[in-house]
Amino acid sequence: MLHDLRKIDWIKWKQASESERTQAVKELQDMLTAWEDVEENREGSHAFYSIMGHKADFILMILRPTIQEVSDIELRFNKSKFAEFTIPSYSYVSVVELSKYMAKEGENPEDNPGVRARLKPRLPKWEHICFYPMDKRREGNDNWYMLPMDERRQLMYEHSFTGRKYAGKVKQIITGSMGLDDWEWSVTLFAKDMLQIKKLIYEMRFDVVSARYGEFGSFYVGNLLTIDDIPDYFAV
C-alpha cells in the first residue's frame, strides 16, 4: 500500500490556462475511473480524500497485490498533467498482513474466507479519513518487544475489544511497515462521522497497549473526494 500525500500548488493552478486545468482534472478523473474498475474486479483498492490543515491538500491511497504495481501507478500519476500542480508532502509504504495474535494453530490462513478478505481489503468510501503512522515503544521497562507472547496477546485482545465497540462506525486498516518505512504501522481509519474517530482514539488511549506502548506520528484528517466532486473542488 502507498499513502501519497500532496499539496496543490494553488498559485500555479490559478495561473494555468482553463484548458490546462480541464485537462488535468480530466486526467485525474480518468485515473480514478480506471482504479474503480480494478476495485470492481477485486484486484486492488484505492482512496482519494482532501486533507484539512497545512500538512497536505489530499491523500491518495493505492493498494495492489504487488509492490511493482503500486510503483507503476505512482509513476503514471507523477507523469500526469494533474501531478504538475502537486507538491509531495508525505508518503508511506506498507503491506497488508495477517495477525500473529489471532492466528489459529494448524489452520492454513488461505482456507479461511475471512482471512482471504482481510488480505485483499476494499477501502470503504466513507465520508472521513484519519491516517497516522505509529510504533510500539521500546524504552526501558516499556519495551513491547520484550513482553512474552501471552501478555501481548492479552493486551491486543483488550485493544480489539475497544475497537469492536465501533463496529459500523469506524473501519480500520492497519498495515505493517517494519523495514519498509520510518514507523512500524500505518493506521488508517474511515468514518461516516468524524467525531467517532476522535472518540475511538480517545478511548484507546486508556488501553495499556496504547497508553504504555503506543507512539504516534503526525495525524492527517480529511473528507472524501468523489470523481464527481473533483471539478468543484478544483474550480477557481
* Angle made by CA atoms 168, 96, 176, in degrees to the nearest 5: 105
Q: Is 132 annotated as a binding residue?
A: yes
H/E stretch holding 11:
helix 10-15
Nearer to ligand VOV among residue 26 and residue 169 (C-beta): 169
In sequence order, the 6+-apart residues with CB closer than 8 A to the CB of 221 are: 51, 52, 53, 128, 129, 130, 131, 194, 197
**Of 8, 52, 96, 174, the one binding ligand VOV by CB under 6 A:** 174
132 is catalytic: yes
Q: Is 165 annotated as a binding residue?
A: no
**Part in contact with ligand VOV (CB under 6 A); list of ranges 1-9, 27-35, 163-171, 227-235:** 163-171
Using rule CB under 6 A, residue 38 touches ligand VOV: no
**Of 49, 92, 185, 190, the one binding ligand VOV by CB under 6 A:** 185
Cα–Cα distance for residue pair 109/126, rounded to 1 Å: 28
**Span 86-105, contacts to ligand VOV by CB under 6 A:** 99, 101-102
Using rule CB under 6 A, residue 192 touches ligand VOV: no
Give residue 40's Cα distance to chain centre: 19
Please provide the size of the chain in residues: 236
Annotated catalytic residue, options 49, 92, 132, 220: 132
- CA distances from residue 20 to 27, 71, 89 in whole angstroms, order as listed: 11, 26, 23
Residue whose entry in the numeric block shows the C-alpha cell 475511473: 33
**Of 210, 220, 221, 225, the one binding ligand VOV by CB under 6 A:** 210
Cα–Cα distance for residue pair 53/61, rounded to 1 Å: 19
Nearer to ligand VOV among residue 87 and residue 211 (C-beta): 211
Gyration radius from the chain CA atoms: 19
Residue ranges binding ligand VOV (CB under 6 A): 99, 101-102, 134, 156, 159-160, 163-164, 166, 170, 172, 174, 185, 187, 189, 200-201, 204, 210, 214
Binding residues for Fe-coproporphyrin III, as ranges, are: 118, 132-136, 159, 172, 210
| Residues with a known catalytic role | 132
Binding residues, as ranges, are: 118, 132-136, 159, 172, 210
